Amino acid sequence: MEKCLIAAISDDYALGKDNDLLWHLSEDLKYFKRLTSGHPVIMGRKTYESIGRPLPRRLNIVLTRKAPETGSGSPLSAASGPPAGEGSAPANQPANLLYASTLEEAFALAASTPFEGRVDEPDQCFVMGGGSLYKQALPLCDKLYLTEVHTTRPDADTFFPAFDKKIYRELSRSELYSENNLTYHFVIYGR
Ligand SMILES: NC(=O)c1ccc[n+]([C@@H]2O[C@H](COP(=O)([O-])OP(=O)(O)OC[C@H]3O[C@@H](n4cnc5c(N)ncnc54)[C@H](OP(=O)(O)O)[C@@H]3O)[C@@H](O)[C@H]2O)c1
């Protein structure tokens, strides 16, 4: 399985602020949906909570070091049963939502878990944030799908890690998109 990473970053590598995104770009959301549908997506617990629900038509694997608790309220507490790390889905948990307690476990689940609508060609999984996940996963990923948004956001509180463009070479760059007073490119880097 090809390990991919997908992110939208500014020219100063900003990703988010106050557990939210920095922009709303509809073409970027469509691009994200088109690339990830039918594939496993791996995300940190904070990113999952900021979305608030599993993304449809994808296997959602959420990284957390805390066991999901019984109760009501947060997405994590909607799950009861085994601790995070066992890769199982308790009875009241959506079938396309799994928890993992290490990145290695998340990649193993991504490779081995069947789910409705799974697409095997191309055989890919996507690390989809946030900052802490990107930092850990970057050295393990084969391909980076970066939406490069041409602005700077020094006010952000979450940033994408610096990466070596001699190791990750640019494979393709889209035409320039323009939306909400921002311009951006879809860029693919590969090792
Ligand atoms: N621009 C983009 O493309 C993009 C994409 C996604 C997210 N974002 C933004 O990124 C920000 C969130 O990023 P973040 O770095 O604060 O949080 P995050 O990476 O989404 O989640 C961090 C949490 O993930 C869990 N975790 C991380 N590494 C783990 C590991 N190795 N093993 C087990 N659990 C692990 C921990 O959860 P526990 O505390 O539960 O143990 C940790 O607190 C938000 O602003 C969001 O909007 C931007």
Using one digit for the tens of pLDDT, what is the confidence trace for 136-173? 999 999 999 999 999 999 999 999 999 999 999 999 99
Structural domains present in the chain: 1-39+119-191 (3.40.430.10), 58-118 (no CATH)
Any bridge partners for residue 131, and if so which? Answer: none
Q: Which residues of the chain have pLDDT under 50?
A: 70-86
Q: pTM score > 0.95 for this model?
A: no
Q: Which residues line ligand 1 (CB under 6 A)?
A: 7-8, 15-17, 19-21, 43-47, 50, 63-66, 101-103, 128-133, 136, 158
Q: How far apart are CA 119 and CA 12, in angstroms?
A: 34
Quickly tell me which residue has 């997506």 as its tokens. Answer: 41
Ligand 1 binding pocket mutation candidate from 11, 15, 140 (most atoms within 8 A of CB): 15
Confidence at residue 92, expressed as pLDDT on a 0 to 100 scale: 74
User: What is the position in ligand 1's atom list of the atom closest to the CA of 134?
Assistant: 19
